[in-house]
Copies of this chain bind each other. A is one copy, B any other.
């Protein structure tokens, strides 16, 4: 638990997804201390293979320029997977704040090698959301991370 207000909005997004029958992962893009976009996983809601929370958030942020991304921080309730990490690398987003990395861990070391500053908040709400979801919908979760 912590009081980061942007993580709180990412968690709100995860909870919106869960209420809609989706995967409870949320994301926020912050530039100059303002939220410019928020998103959540849409595998179930839109039958999407690419709209992980971070991707949905980046898509909702729209067409930005390098100077915008250079000032951005990407929040996610869960450690970003290879795809979402790759999107952050493409746009050279310098900072990623992660709610938790206990239920899934993306290529954090590689992100660090490529110069991205990761902050892991180890947030109990994020962990609880994912633990319950994975227990209840293991096949859906495995599909989302490409292992089933």
Q: Which residues of A contact B (CB under 8 A)?
A: 43, 47-51, 55, 58-59, 61-66, 69, 81-87, 89-92, 110, 142-143, 145-148
B84 contacts A146, C-beta separation under 8 Å: no
The CA of A107 and the CA of B107, in the complex, are separated in Å by: 14
Residue of B nearest to A84 (CB): B86
Instruction: Point out the residues of chain B lying under 8 angstroms from A59, CB to CB.
Output: 48-51
Docked-complex contact B90 and A63, CB < 8 angstroms: no
Contacts of A147 in B (CB 8 A): 66
**Between-chain CB contacts (< 8 Å), 26 pairs:** A47-B63, A48-B59, A48-B63, A49-B58, A49-B61, A49-B62, A49-B91, A50-B58, A65-B148, A66-B142, A66-B143, A66-B146, A66-B147, A66-B148, A81-B90, A82-B87, A82-B89, A83-B83, A83-B86, A83-B87, A83-B90, A84-B86, A86-B87, A86-B89, A90-B146, A110-B110
Taking a contact as CB atoms closer than 8 A, the residue among B47, B50, B69, B81 that contacts A50 in the complex is B50
